[in-house]
Each structure stands twice: as structure tokens, then as C-alpha cells.
Chains A and B, each alone.
Chain A
Amino acid sequence: MKQLKVIVVLVLAVLVLAKCRKSEVFPVEHYDDRLSGGDETVFTATSTSFGNMFPGLTGYDIHVHELGDAVFSQTFVTAPAPIHSGLGTLFNNTSCTNCHHNDGIGLPTAGELQSSLLVRISLPGEDEHGGPVPVPGYGLQVQDKAVFGKTPECKINISYSYRTYSFPDGETYELRTPDYSLTNLYAPISGNYLLSPRLAPPMFGLGLLEAVPESEIAALQDLNDADGDGIRGKANYVWDAVTNRKMLGRFGWKANTATILSQVASAFNQDMGITTSVLPVENSFGQPQYDGLKDDAELPDSLLNAVKFYAQTLAVPARRNTTDPTIKRGLQLFTLAKCINCHKQTLTTGVDVSKPWLSNQVIHPYTDMLLHNMGPGLADNRPDYLAGGQDWRTAALWGVGLFETVNNPGYYLHDGRARTLTEAIMWHGGEASQSVAYYSNLSKSDRDAILKFLRSL
């Protein structure tokens, strides 16, 4: 009897103690910080590191991804053609991969085979949805190439002026300031117009960023700087042509596109002149270059969706050397410099049982997906929905350490003006001014530690 009592008391004690320890979410700091893309991370650091399929894909999904990959790398030609038909009549390039070389960031040139810089154009003011106002005869993007017999809209000219600066400790760096202009306009533009150059961004990890719940991103906003850290952050809300409603802007250098599908369809339409069911009107409609063919949509939905799926399911390369003491120190300094207040280390994707590979993933993209004022140095002075002329969406830094490996040499920022990570940091202004000042005043070894940390991403 006594034994029984003891057992009962012990069982109760265990139960009480068990109750004391509340169940809790597995703490983020215990995750392996090499897994930048959660389960959809790949351990590779070569020139093809941005082009890997999600490891979690199975069965038919693999086929669709591979089909999308094939279309992504295919050159399109003038309609009518038996295959890959519909290029132009106006376009910037002839295939996706010519701009997104190796699925990475592009080259900041215009008019050449692998030029990856396009130029948005608009009139001052807002359209009925709060977006930029198209320029009559040009739309919202200039196309500097045309199929045979048609006239390109213009020639894009890029020139740079160079200036050398010094850190307080005497180390020097050079910044190149770009100047963009349009010549050879096929038709005059009356009044002032606004230009914004945009470099083709890397393709990987987009599906994971799309799967981060809107509420999680919205909660990171600090519109009035309530926490007094000098950093605000605001979400862009943009018109989505697929759903015909305002949605959270996630993609593009100013977060002016809501979904991967819209991004892909817009790239086909605006960059290559290929119509889809989503955007079935030629970019040259209403202009003398219009082909007048009744062949829209030129790209079948099956292929559009395959390319969308491809872009959605490109895996994130893992971080390297995360236990290296200098790299750990670099992360500490990156945090102390408040870089991490915008380049948020960790986000979590929402639960989606239909897409287990995207569902509930702890990811390390180093972005908050929000717009921040980056000051006059980087400004394009062309508003895009809620993004003002000095606002840019925090660039995701995952993979940034591999830009040079994948796209030798690598370029940085929205127009590729920065040729090194140091230049990219030093171009920051506005809300990032304090971080830049902090970085500048560090010793050379500490600045190098931050760079080494960035190269581990």
C-alpha cells in the first residue's frame, strides 16, 4: 500500500513538473544558420548555384520545373514561327536567360546580347490605381530593340562619372555615378518624363518570399519610427493585373509587383514582347510597331505556368563557413550597425499543405520586404505606387556572397552601379545613413569582417 502511495505521488510530481514547462515553438536561434532557404537549401557554391531545383520537389512537379527551365533558356523568334514564336515586335532581349544569366543578377548594360538593364518610363502623377502614368507611345517601359523592319523605341545610353572617397582610416574606395538618357526616340515625348533603370535580379528563393504571410511583413512596418531607431519601413501596395485588385507588393526593386505570376507575365510582355493570357495585349499596341497579328496569347498557359513554377521553385544556396570566428564577428558588427534592422535575418513562410516544399519554412533572406528611404544618392525620383522617388525595397542578401562566382564579375544595387560589396554599402543613404557612418568608422579589420560575413551568404 505504501509502495502504491509513493508511485502515485511520483506520477503526480512528474505530471505537475511536466505542466510547469509550457510547450513553445522551437527557438529560431537553434536552427542551422547555413539553411538560408530552410528545407529548400542546396549546398553548392559554383557558377550554377542559383539554378538548382527545390530538393523537396517530387514526381510531376520535377517535370514542370524542368519544362520551365527549358523555356527560360529558350530564344524566342518573330511570329509566326513553329516554335518559340512571338518575339516583339518591340523587346529588350530574346530570352529570359540572356538577362538572368545563370539565374543570377545581370549585366548593367543596354543593347547587347546579354544586357540586363531595362528602363522604366512614366509621366509625373498617378494612374487610377495609384501607379505610375504611362507615356503615350511608350507605355511604362522602353524597348530598345525591335524585330526586323520595325523601329526600336529608343537607344538607352549609360555613362558613369567616377569619384574617389576615403574612410576615416585612409583606405580609399571609388563610386561611379550613372547617368541615363534616351536618344533616337522614334517619336517625340511632350513634357517631362521620369526614368528608372532596373537590373535583372537573381531568380532563386522567390517562391519562399512569396509564401511569407502578408501579416508577417506588414507587422515589420514602422511607419512613424515608433521605436525611435531611425528606421521606418513601409509595405508597398500595388495593382495586380491577374487578380484585379490591390495587393502587397513583394517583387521588383521597388516592390511594385505582387506575385511571381505577375512578374513572369510582365517580363514576357514588356521585356520580350510576348503576350500571355495574363497580359494579352502587345507592348506595342497603339504604336506603329504593332504587328496586328491575331495570335495573342502567344505563349500558352502551360508554358507560362511552367516558367512561373520554375521561378517559384529555385533553391537557395547554403551559407558557407558559418563557424568562422571572423564571419561570426562580421554578423555581430552587421547587427550593431543596424544593417539587420532592415536586412532581417529570419522570416517564416506560411502553412500551405498543397505546397509542402514552401510550407512553414524558417528562412534567412536578410530582407524585411519593405520600402525604405535610401536617400538622394540612389534615388530614381520616380514614384511607383507607395514607393517614393528615394524608396527601394530592402534587397534580399541571401546568395550575395556568390554573385561574383555566378556572374563573374558581380554587380550590386538596383542598376548595378556598385561593382563591389563595399561600394554597395557606401551607396546607402537615408534611413541607412547611420549604418553607413558606423561602418565607415570601424577599423579596416572590422569592415573586412562585415564583408567576409556578406561573402558567406
Chain B
Amino acid sequence: MKTKILALFGTLAIMAAGCSKSHNPDPDTTSATLEAQVLTDFPANLANPNYLDIETKAGIMKDAAGIFISSSTDANLKAVQDAWKNTRAAWESCEGYLFGPVEDFNYDPTMDDWPVNKVDLDALLASSNQLSVSDIEDLGTTLKGFHAIEYVIFGVGGTKKAAQVTEREKTYLASLTESLYNTTRELRASWDPSVSGNFTHQVTTAGNGSARFATRQDFFKALVGAMADICNEVADEKMQTPLAAQDSTLDESSFSHNSVTDFTNNIKGVLNAYNSSYNGTSGHSLSELVKAKNISLDAKIQSQITAAISSFSLLNGITYEKAIYDNKDKINQIQTAIRTLKETLEGDLDAFVETNIKD
């Protein structure tokens, strides 16, 4: 009798289990749906608005340069400097996911090569060579882009006044800012879904006909790789090179003393990439994919990104050019926070993508 009751309960249990299973969505289907949503939202909520923002701000900088050239006051120079910093912020945050046209078509080196070729730049300014936009576009990458503009408007040490900007520098500045603006337009168009051959299409069709990403895993691995790469670049190249050499002239963006802001925006770009977010708008994201299967890994990554970003407050507004001499311990703490994040991205997150994104 007891055996019969047990058998009955056993049967019921199995049936119940069978019933409940049939009501649950297939986890693979759920996951695949979410992956597809991320592929849509990454370009829609991050890449496209970010690149549009860079273009808009580069346009404002170009216009500000025009106003300064026609009316060379200190206030108008400061407006150009501020516009440079705003454009720079949008650009640095997109470095959190440097893949696609920005690399394929050299938009990155064209806009942001460093160091400035100061010897050649000074010689060019001292010459009588033409400085039209087309002349600028023919120049090497170390004679144009963000840092050539920075050199002209801030000067070495960042103390430049309107009266110190020569007529020749003004001509150069007008063409430099227009050339940079042209490049940002091309970059924006390269992802624009309404433009033929756009890269957004390569992302949204990953694993489903995309020439660039044969599998969805390829896209997510490229994304994770780019996030880790910028961590490495910030902690062990941009920060480490001037620190190790104890030479502030080796610091990128030293003319404007904008380096700490650059670094911070780079890591904010990692957060944006992880959350498919830009300027407060976010969508389905890699974070969501991780959270669905490994909530503690997602929490770990979120907290490490936040820790890396907030670690820059240790410098308390001190310029990086000064901090490399006076605040080595604090710089080391920041580097450690970024390296820790990088290791998690390259290790845990990359492994997560390999294990969980199979299509």
C-alpha cells in the first residue's frame, strides 16, 4: 500500500515537473532574444548617438573658432577651448568601444594621433605653405586633429592668451577645426542606419549574414576586447608612460591639462559600452545578458567600473602633469582599480561570452 502511495506521489511529481517545464520559456530562446535586442540597442542607444554628439560638438568648435578668428578676444578663445573640451569628452567616451569604421577607416589616428609633431608643426607655421582645408587633409596625422588644435589654442603649459595667437595660427586653426569636423561627419555617417553600407547593419545582423561578425559571439568578443583594450591603454600607456619617465611632456592632452578628464571619460566609455547607454538613455545591454545568467559577475563588473571611474577623484582636481611628481601613490591606486577591471573583463567576462553566447 505504502509502495503504491509512493508510486502515485512519484508519478504526480514527475507530471507536475513536466507541466511546469512546459510553461517556462526556453532559456536558450530567451537568451537569443535578448542577444538580438542588445545587437539592436548597442548601435541605437550608444554608437549612433555618441558619434552624432561628437559631430555636433565638433561643429560647435568649428563655429567657435570662426568667431574667435573674426573677434580675437580672450573670451572667444576660451569659448574655443571649452568647445574643444566638450568635443573631446564625447570622443574619449567613444574610445570605450574602438572597433568598426573608427579603426577600419583610420578616423581614430586622423583625429587623435599623438604626440603632435611639434618640430614639423612649428616649421609649417613658420613657412609660407598654404593652409587650406585640403592642405590640412594632406598632412600627416601628427599635424592635425585634436592635439594640433590643442597646441594652437592652449599652447605649451596651457596659458595661451588671444593676443598670442598669430594670424598664421588662426588660419591653421580654421582649417584644422573644419577638417576635424569633416572627419566626425564621416564617422557618424559610417554607422548611420540610413546610409548605404553602414556598420550598424553589420552589428544588428551579427551571426545572421553580417560580413563582419560571422557569429554573435564574434561581436560580443570584439566588444569585450575593446573595453579591456581601453583599460590597458589608460592604465598602462597613457598614465604609465609619463609616470615611469617622470616627464610631464609625455602626457597626452598636457597642453590643455585635460588628461585626467580624458582618462575618466575613457572609463565612462567602458560603462557606456557595458550598459548600451549614452547621455542617460540606455537599452538592452551586455550587462543584462550577464545579469540573466550570473548576477554576481554583473555586480562585480558594475562595481569595478564605478570604482575605477571614482578613483580619479583621489587626485582631487590636481593636473596629471603635477600628479606624476607629487601623487604617485594615488596614481598607483587608480591604475590598480583600472587594471583590476581590465582583468575581470579579459578573464571573467570574456569567458562568460565564450560559454554563454554560442550563436
The CA of A333 and the CA of B237, in the complex, are separated in Å by 48
The answer to whether B225 and A87 have CB atoms under 8 Å apart is no
The answer to whether A84 and B120 have CB atoms under 8 Å apart is no
A80 within 8 A of B: yes
B272 within 8 A of A: no
Interface 9-mer from A71-79, A358-366, A446-454: A71-79
B221 within 8 A of A: yes
B118 within 8 A of A: yes
The answer to whether B249 and A82 have CB atoms under 8 Å apart is yes
Which of B141, B222, B236, B249 is the one whose CB lies under 8 Å from A75?
Answer: B141
B275 within 8 A of A: no
- Which residues, 241 to 292 on A, are CB-close (under 8 Å) to B? none
The answer to whether B236 and A78 have CB atoms under 8 Å apart is no
Known: A46-B222, A75-B114, A408-B212. A80 touches B119 (CB 8 A): yes
Complex contacts, B110 vs chain A, CB 8 Å: 113
B247 within 8 A of A: yes
The answer to whether A46 and B119 have CB atoms under 8 Å apart is no
- Which residues, 27 to 74 on A, are CB-close (under 8 Å) to B? 44-48, 66, 70
The CA of A79 and the CA of B143, in the complex, are separated in Å by 14
The answer to whether A81 and B117 have CB atoms under 8 Å apart is yes
Tally of B interface residues using CB under 8 Å: 34
- Which residues, 214 to 254 on B, are CB-close (under 8 Å) to A? 214, 218, 221-222, 225, 232, 236-237, 241, 247, 249-250
Closest to B122 in A: A148
Complex contacts, B247 vs chain A, CB 8 Å: 82-83
B323 within 8 A of A: no
Complex contacts, B142 vs chain A, CB 8 Å: 75, 77, 94
The CA of A180 and the CA of B117, in the complex, are separated in Å by 31
The CA of A257 and the CA of B1, in the complex, are separated in Å by 89
Complex contacts, A82 vs chain B, CB 8 Å: 115, 247, 249-250
Q: Can you list 27 A-B contacts (CB < 8 A)?
A: A44-B221, A45-B214, A46-B218, A47-B222, A75-B113, A75-B114, A75-B141, A75-B142, A77-B142, A80-B119, A81-B119, A82-B115, A82-B247, A82-B249, A83-B247, A83-B250, A84-B115, A94-B140, A94-B141, A94-B142, A113-B106, A114-B106, A145-B140, A147-B117, A148-B117, A148-B119, A149-B123
Partner-B contacts on A (CB < 8 A): 44-48, 66, 70, 75, 77-84, 87, 94, 98, 113-114, 145, 147-149, 405, 408
- A sample of 19 more A-B contacts (CB under 8 A), given A45-B214, A46-B218, A80-B119, is A46-B222, A46-B225, A47-B99, A47-B222, A48-B222, A66-B236, A70-B241, A75-B109, A75-B113, A77-B117, A77-B142, A78-B117, A81-B117, A94-B142, A113-B110, A145-B140, A148-B123, A148-B124, A408-B211
Nearest 6 CB-CB pairings of A with B = A148-B120, A77-B117, A78-B119, A82-B249, A83-B250, A148-B123
Partner-A contacts on B (CB < 8 A): 99, 104, 106, 109-110, 113-120, 123-124, 127, 140-143, 211-212, 214, 218, 221-222, 225, 232, 236-237, 241, 247, 249-250
